[in-house]
Amino acid sequence: MELRNCINYLLTVAQHEVFVVFSERLAEFGVTPGQYGILNCLWSQGSATPKEIAQTLRLENSTVSGMLDKLQKRGLVNRLLDPNDRRSIRVEATEAGNAIREDVLRTVDELNQTVLAPFTAQQRQQLLELLRRLSGTSEGEA
């Protein structure tokens, strides 16, 4: 099969291009695209265990743990003992983490519009639906 017809190649190249654009713009907030995913989970849910975050983002627990370390060092998240189960840790956004919420969400919305600008409204919807189907996610997830 020719490389340019390989779905893995096309998705990898497209993901890299989007990642670069997102990385550049999110850097002004001191956040990477992956860290944005964690913050978004916390902004949506209030708090979560590292395992819940990993499941939502479909990442390895160790990957999430490393990103949480960096977010905690930046003062954007706290790890707290779960009051209902002292063996469990819950993660929540700090005041500083919540303070950047609106600006980060607005920036991500702008980035989505920029990345999808070459497509018509119908093509955008179609692309998003096809990617959801391919990834096994629904519109309400992650």
Domains of the chain: 3-135 (1.10.10.10)
According to the model, what pLDDT value does residue 137 have? Answer: 87
> Which pLDDT value is given to residue 63?
95
Q: What is the pLDDT of residue 87?
A: 81
Compute the radius of gyration of the chain from its Cα atoms: 17
What would the pLDDT profile of 7-44 be if each residue is shown by its tens digit? Answer: 999 999 999 999 999 999 999 999 999 999 999 999 99
Continuous H helices in the chain: 7-26, 33-45, 50-57, 61-73, 95-99, 101-116, 121-135
**Residue numbers of the chain with a pLDDT score lower than 70:** 139-142
Asked if residue 77 lies in contact with residue 68, where contact means CB atoms within 8 angstroms, the answer is yes
Q: How many CB atoms lie within 10 A of CB 114?
A: 13
Q: Tell me the whole-structure pTM to 2 decimals.
A: 0.88
Largest Cα–Cα distance in the chain?
55
Query: What is the predicted pLDDT for the residue at 52?
Result: 95
pLDDT (0 to 100) of residue 140: 59
Around 134, how many Cα atoms within 13 Å sit in the side-chain half-sphere?
9
pLDDT of residue 142: 56
Q: Quick one: CA dihedral 103, 106, 14, 12, positive or negative? A: positive
**What sign results for the dihedral spanned by CA atoms 97, 103, 106, 112?**
negative
